[in-house]
Amino acid sequence: MKSTLRLAALATLALLAAPVQAATKPAAKPAHKPLAPASNPASNWANQIVVTADGSHMFGNPKADMQLTEFVSYTCPHCAHFTREADPALRLTLVPKGQIAVTVTTLLRNPIDLTISMLTTCGDPKRFFQRHNAFLTGQDSWMGKLEKMSEEQQKRWYQGALPERMKAIASDFDFYSRVAAWGMTRTQADACFANEAVFDTIKQQQATVAKNGVNSTPSFILNGKLLDAHDWAGLSKEITAQMAAKHKGAI
């Protein structure tokens, strides 16, 4: 990745300190509020979506014995690989049965992460995971454009008002076409970049990241414990061990 894309922690904090200069905030959503639950959510807990206090998104049974938080960066290749490996087991097996609830918290490493986070957070919360997974599983296609971008293009990502910087990134990576597939017009995407309430929720997630001492992606907290595992192989072992311990305790 080119040098101009490498952001130190202080640079990221400075990015988040800048005002978005947006329209009036809508009222904040209550913490852990279920969104459009299924008629019988216990039949498939993957249909249960919750927005948490810091604006992260949870799917699954909020009262599941195992509570997993994933800390991910959209420009992290390991996060994309993890999503492709873990999604079938989590979304199709463990989550629907109510065995585990999964919360996704964004960890910003650069302005591209911020731009995508704004786009995935804007819109219907019930479709957040559709947007989130699409950016990660399709990472190779849009990240491949980076090597062809000039230094002058990349300078636009770091200069000026934040909404304008995000518009430049969205244009350079053709994110406008990507979100159009979900029914988001270019006008709506630009309005998203100026949405102060959405920006604030992403800032809140960075506070969660700092509070938990997370400094790499992907990282995981399982039932309150920050794990040493940073891939699906390591995480799945931790999940299996906890399931085995619970089963043993029930005998």
**Rounded-to-integer distance, Cα 196 and Cα 201, Å:** 9
**Rounded-to-integer distance, Cα 108 and Cα 71, Å:** 10
The CA-atom distances, in angstroms, between 179 and each of 47, 63, 137, 232 are 22, 33, 14, 28
User: What residues form DSSP beta bridges with 27?
Assistant: none
Q: Is the model's pLDDT at 1 over the cut of 80?
A: no
**Rounded-to-integer distance, Cα 171 and Cα 12, Å:** 21
pLDDT at residue 53, as a whole number: 95
Q: Is the model's pLDDT at 38 over the cut of 50?
A: no
pLDDT at residue 193, as a whole number: 98
pLDDT at residue 111, as a whole number: 96
Structure tokens of 202?
């992403």
Q: Taking residues 1-7, what's their average pLDDT?
A: 40
Residue-level length of the chain: 251
Tell me the backbone φ, ψ of residue 160, rounded to 5 degrees. 95, -170
Q: Tens digit of pLDDT for each residue in 67-97?
A: 999 999 999 999 999 999 999 999 889 999 9
pLDDT band at 39 (very low <50, low <70, confident <90, very high): very low
Q: Looking at 47-172, which runs of residues are DSSP E strands?
A: 49-51, 57-59, 66-72, 100-106
Query: For all residues of the chain together, what is the average pLDDT?
Result: 86
pLDDT at residue 44, as a whole number: 85
Please count the other Cβ atoms lying within 10 Å of the Cβ belonging to residue 34.
13
Dihedral sign from CA coordinates of 231, 233, 238, 242: positive
pTM: 0.85
pLDDT at residue 4, as a whole number: 39
pLDDT at residue 17, as a whole number: 52
Q: Which domains does the chain have, with CATH numbers?
A: 44-250 (1.10.40.110)
Going by their DSSP bridges, the two strands 33-35 and 225-226 should be labelled as unpaired
Q: Taking residues 17-37, what's their average pLDDT?
A: 43
pLDDT band at 28 (very low <50, low <70, confident <90, very high): very low
pLDDT band at 41 (very low <50, low <70, confident <90, very high): low
